């Protein structure tokens, strides 16, 4: 069946971005091999940024905006640097419009990058009319390139991938992180929530927890069926936008942890290979609300 496009040039957008991401991969790979002491912190002591994060984001935005001048960008480092934010009652919001918008995390897994753990990903997602349409997640260290466009399937290095068919927690491996950056907002009670969530999964017989230090890698590992589910609170649009399309196109579910529809700006995510597993996991989480970012 022909794929219904939201924009006649969607394929061109995607193919151009794919080539650019491969070039960005060289920057990340070279920098990974040359440890730098130039590491700065952002919102907290655990929120890191390096020159490479900034250089890769600048390179991606420069390349995409030269080719597609009318497109918009939501990039982790641009937002952290104060750009593309409007003040509204109750806080600040990222400007997120109907225009074709690239949602970019230059390096997801910056702590891994700094510690030279090879689980890092360049993430480029494309939203049109606020619908996530395409995603690229590239780990240039392990040479794993995940990509998907709505209606065209999900791929790893060009080969189709599929989620697992696991329906119960007692047969599942689940990605979960303690999310210690949430202590900035919630203080020590956060730990009771995060540990309580993992505890209930352990008591339900989960086969094991994994945490790769990159939301995007957690998600593409769900997409390729290596792990069965993943839930996290306190993430951002750039951590999950690209990988959301990849998980869905691999046959998986990506929702709000409460079971509601995903709001990519909502700062939380649950994904799983099957609806049944997503429901079981959702039912045993203590849910936490965040102010949506856009």
Task: Note whether 74 and 94 are within 8 A (CB).
Answer: yes
Our finding on whether 105 is near Ca ion (CB under 5 A) is yes
Residue 76 CB, nearest distance to Ca ion (Å)? 6
Q: Sheet containing 144-149: which strands, arranged edge to edge?
A: 72-75, 101-108, 121-128, 131-139, 144-149, 154-156, 159-160
Our finding on whether 57 is near Ca ion (CB under 5 A) is no
Task: Note whether 148 and 135 are within 8 A (CB).
Answer: yes
CA contacts within 13 A on the Cβ side of 29: 13
> Whole-angstrom Cα distance, residue 121 to residue 142?
10
# of chain residues touching Ca ion (CB under 5 A) = 3
Considering the candidates 10, 53, 228, 239, report the single residue annotated as catalytic.
239
3-state helix, strand, coil split of the chain in percent (to 5) is: 35, 25, 40
For ligand IPD, the closer CB: 166 or 177: 177
234 binds, among Ca ion, ligand IPD, none (CB under 5 to 8 A by kind): ligand IPD
107 is in an annotated binding site: yes
249 binds, among Ca ion, ligand IPD, none (CB under 5 to 8 A by kind): none
Our finding on whether 239 is near Ca ion (CB under 5 A) is yes
For ligand IPD, the closer CB: 64 or 235: 235
Instruction: Give residues in contact with ligand IPD (CB under 6 A).
Output: 76, 105, 108-111, 177, 179, 181, 213-215, 232, 234-235, 239
Considering the candidates 50, 101, 110, 274, report the single residue annotated as catalytic.
110
Kind plus residue range of the DSSP H or E element containing 230 = strand 229-233
Angle of CA points 60, 63, 68, to nearest 5°? 115
Stretch that binds Ca ion, among 7-15, 94-102, 107-115, 255-263 (CB under 5 A): 107-115
Considering the candidates 107, 136, 141, 235, report the single residue annotated as catalytic.
107
239 is in an annotated binding site: yes
Residue 43 CB, nearest distance to ligand IPD (Å)? 9
Reply yes or no on whether 239 is catalytic: yes
Q: Which own/partner contact pairs does 62-70 have at CB distance under 8 Å and 24+ positions apart?
A: 63/20, 63/23, 64/16, 64/17, 64/20, 64/102, 67/16, 68/13, 68/16, 68/100, 70/99, 70/100
**List 53, 57, 77, 108, residue binding Ca ion (CB under 5 A):** 108
For ligand IPD, the closer CB: 150 or 194: 194
Reply yes or no on whether 110 is catalytic: yes
Reply yes or no on whether 105 is catalytic: yes
> Whole-angstrom Cα distance, residue 32 to residue 161?
27
Reply yes or no on whether 193 is catalytic: no
Residue 9 CB, nearest distance to Ca ion (Å)? 28
For ligand IPD, the closer CB: 109 or 257: 109
Task: Note whether 80 and 50 are within 8 A (CB).
Answer: no
Residue 239 CB, nearest distance to ligand IPD (Å)? 5
Task: Note whether 117 and 32 are within 8 A (CB).
Answer: no
For ligand IPD, the closer CB: 112 or 274: 112
DSSP for 117-162, written as a single string: -S--EEEEEEEETTEEEEEEEEETTTTEEEEEETTS-EEETTEE--
Reply yes or no on whether 192 is catalytic: no
Nearest residue relative to Ca ion (C-beta): 108
Which positions are catalytic?
76, 105, 107-108, 110, 239
Residue ranges at the known binding site:
76, 105, 107-108, 239
Residue ranges at the known binding site for Mg(2+):
76, 105, 107-108, 239
């Amino acid at each position: 069946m022909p794929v219904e496009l939201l924009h006649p040039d969607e394929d061109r957008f995607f193919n151009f971005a794919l080539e650019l991401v491969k070039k960005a991969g060289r920057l990340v790979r070279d920098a990974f091999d040359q440890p730098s002491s130039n590491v700065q912190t952002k919102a907290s002591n655990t929120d890191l940024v390096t020159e490479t994060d900034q250089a890769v984001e600048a390179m991606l935005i420069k390349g995409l905006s030269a080719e597609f001048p009318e497109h918009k960008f939501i990039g982790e480092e641009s937002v952290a640097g104060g750009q593309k934010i409007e003040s509204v009652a109750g806080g600040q919001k990222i400007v997120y419009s109907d225009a074709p918008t690239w949602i970019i995390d230059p390096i997801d897994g910056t702590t891994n990058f700094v510690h030279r753990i090879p689980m890092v990903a360049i993430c480029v997602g494309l939203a049109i009319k606020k619908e996530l349409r395409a995603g690229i997640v590239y780990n240039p260290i392990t040479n794993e390139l995940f990509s998907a466009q709505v209606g065209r399937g999900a791929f790893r290095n060009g080969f189709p991938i599929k989620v697992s068919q696991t329906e119960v927690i007692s047969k599942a491996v689940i990605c979960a992180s303690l999310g210690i950056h949430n202590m900035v907002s919630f203080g020590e009670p956060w730990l009771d929530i995060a540990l309580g969530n993992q505890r209930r999964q352990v008591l339900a017989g989960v086969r094991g927890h994994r945490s790769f230090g990159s939301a995007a890698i957690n998600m593409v590992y769900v997409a390729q069926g290596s792990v069965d589910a993943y839930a996290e609170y306190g993430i951002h649009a750039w951590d999950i936008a690209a990988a959301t399309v990849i998980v869905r196109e691999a046959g998986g579910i990506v929702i709000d942890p409460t079971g509601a529809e995903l709001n990519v700006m909502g700062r939380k995510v649950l994904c799983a290979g099957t609806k049944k597993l997503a429901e079981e996991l959702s039912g045993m989480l203590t849910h936490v609300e965040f102010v949506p970012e856009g």
